[in-house]
């Protein structure tokens, strides 16, 4: 795989889009303008970007409760995303899903999901479908360290392995299951250690480095496309904000020092240094990328705020397909 300038720019752009989308959503939530609970992806951008660069709209992903970043990286439209977070009828899900269920099936994004580890079995279904229909597409479930303690993860991993399905399991190990440190919820530290138990390769990549994720994910996805079966890719990463919202519910369960250590590893400045060192972009050009995305976000928020709320008479629509 060659790391071209286009790929570098793409990785950078996807990460910056996620970062600003989430920051603005977090602010709107805190100010009370946005209903519901938001689980923000800030800090983990390298994982979504590094994986999604390899995927087309015909490749599927499943996501988690922390799902905005995955949809943004999969090409999500800011207007329809903010409109959904605002519960407007113009949103991706017509206001029926919100943050935790945001989806865009047309682009292969099979939904954020409010149930931990619900995604892997669904991704196995999509992977099965890809193989059954004779395509070269892959399905990628994203999930956290905590999800690997759920039985559904185990069932999905086993099924993908025994049927050699084109599925790449991407674990975003951010060290916490909600507020519980990993050491308190599982007796292992590396999710990769579990891969051998399913009969699939398990590999690690630095989840704070988009290039490292891009390279490892690329190999795993290529392998899946070639019919060689699933891989478990563990990306060690960190969320900068709390479990819910930016400042969360005020629990002290991790130290400022720990957060500072990971702030030093911020994947966005990291790739920006790489862009500058390799004469891909100048500092001014990087700023222009940020400014352009912020302007797009401002417009999308305005669109969402001006969009109509759903008509209460539609509450029971879409339960069933009726033709």
Instruction: Give the footprint of another protein on residues 50-89 (CB under 8 A).
Output: 60, 62
Given 99, 152, 237, 307, the residue binding another protein (CB under 8 A) = 152
Q: Which stretch binds another protein (CB under 8 A): 19-27, 193-201, 243-251, 301-309?
A: 193-201
- Does residue 211 interact with another protein by CB under 8 A? yes
Which stretch of DSSP H or E encloses residue 159?
A: helix 151-162
Interhelix angle 5-30/45-52, nearest 10 degrees: 140
CB 25 within 8 A of CB 68: yes
Alpha-carbon torsion angle 187, 189, 192, 198, nearest 10: 10
Please report, as residue ranges, which positions from 11 to 50 form the binding site for another protein (by CB under 8 A). none
- Does residue 149 interact with another protein by CB under 8 A? no
Pairing state between β 168-173 and 176-177: unpaired
Given 34, 274, 281, 297, the residue binding another protein (CB under 8 A) = 274
Q: Which is nearer to another protein, 26 or 125 (CB)?
A: 125
Q: Report which of 170, 211, 204 is spatially closest to residue 1, judged by C-alpha positions.
A: 211
Given 34, 110, 170, 286, the residue binding another protein (CB under 8 A) = 110
- Three-class SS of 187-243: CCCCCHHHHHHHCCCEEEEECCCHHHHHHHHHHHHHHHHCCCCCEEEEEECCCCCCC
- Does residue 298 interact with another protein by CB under 8 A? no
CA distances from residue 108 to 63, 204, 207 in whole angstroms, order as listed: 11, 25, 23
CB 39 within 8 A of CB 116: no
Given 43, 76, 201, 230, the residue binding another protein (CB under 8 A) = 201
- Does residue 136 interact with another protein by CB under 8 A? no
- Does residue 195 interact with another protein by CB under 8 A? yes
- Does residue 304 interact with another protein by CB under 8 A? no
CA distance 158 to 15: 32
Q: Which stretch binds another protein (CB under 8 A): 15-23, 30-38, 66-74, 123-131?
A: 123-131
- Does residue 225 interact with another protein by CB under 8 A? no
Given 13, 136, 164, 223, the residue binding another protein (CB under 8 A) = 223
CA distance 160 to 200: 9
Q: Which stretch binds another protein (CB under 8 A): 23-31, 36-44, 117-125, 283-291?
A: 117-125
Q: Which is nearer to another protein, 81 or 103 (CB)?
A: 103
Q: What is the DSSP letter of 323?
A: -
Q: Which is nearer to another protein, 26 or 97 (CB)?
A: 97
- Does residue 216 interact with another protein by CB under 8 A? yes
DSSP 31-68: TT-S-S-----TT-HHHHHHHHTT--TTSEEE--SS-H
What is the smallest separation between the CB atom of 163 and another protein, expressed in angstroms? 8
CB 112 within 8 A of CB 65: yes
- Does residue 219 interact with another protein by CB under 8 A? yes
- Does residue 278 interact with another protein by CB under 8 A? yes
């Amino acid at each position: 795989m060659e790391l071209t300038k286009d790929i570098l720019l793409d990785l950078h752009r996807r990460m910056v889009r996620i970062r600003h989308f989430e920051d603005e959503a977090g602010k709107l939530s805190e100010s009370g303008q946005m209903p519901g609970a938001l689980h923000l992806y800030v800090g983990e951008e390298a994982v979504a970007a590094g994986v999604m660069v390899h995927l087309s709209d015909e490749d599927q992903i499943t996501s988690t409760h922390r799902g905005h970043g995955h949809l943004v990286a999969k090409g999500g439209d800011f207007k329809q995303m903010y409109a959904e977070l605002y519960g407007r009828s113009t949103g991706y899900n017509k206001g029926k899903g919100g943050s935790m269920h945001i989806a865009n099936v047309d682009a292969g994004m099979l939904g954020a999901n409010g149930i931990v580890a619900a995604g892997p079995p669904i991704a196995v279904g999509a992977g099965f479908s890809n193989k059954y229909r004779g395509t070269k597409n892959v399905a990628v479930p994203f999930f956290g360290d905590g999800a690997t303690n759920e039985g559904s993860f185990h069932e999905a991993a086993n099924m993908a392995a025994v049927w050699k399905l084109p599925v790449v399991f991407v674990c975003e190990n951010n060290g916490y299951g909600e507020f519980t440190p990993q050491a308190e919820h599982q007796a292992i530290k590396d999710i990769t250690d579990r891969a051998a138990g399913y009969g699939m390769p398990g590999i690690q990549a630095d989840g704070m480095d988009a290039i490292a994720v891009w390279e490892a994910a690329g190999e795993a996805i290529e392998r899946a496309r070639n019919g060689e079966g699933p891989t478990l890719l563990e990306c060690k990463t960190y969320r900068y904000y709390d479990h819910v919202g930016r400042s969360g519910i005020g629990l002290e369960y991790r130290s400022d020092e720990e957060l500072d250590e990971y702030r030093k590893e911020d994947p966005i400045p990291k790739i920006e240094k790489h862009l500058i060192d390799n004469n891909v972009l100048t500092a001014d050009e990087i700023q222009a990328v940020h400014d352009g995305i912020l302007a797009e976000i401002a417009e999308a928020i305005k669109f969402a705020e001006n969009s109509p709320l759903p008509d209460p008479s539609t509450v029971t629509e879409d339960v069933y397909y009726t033709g």
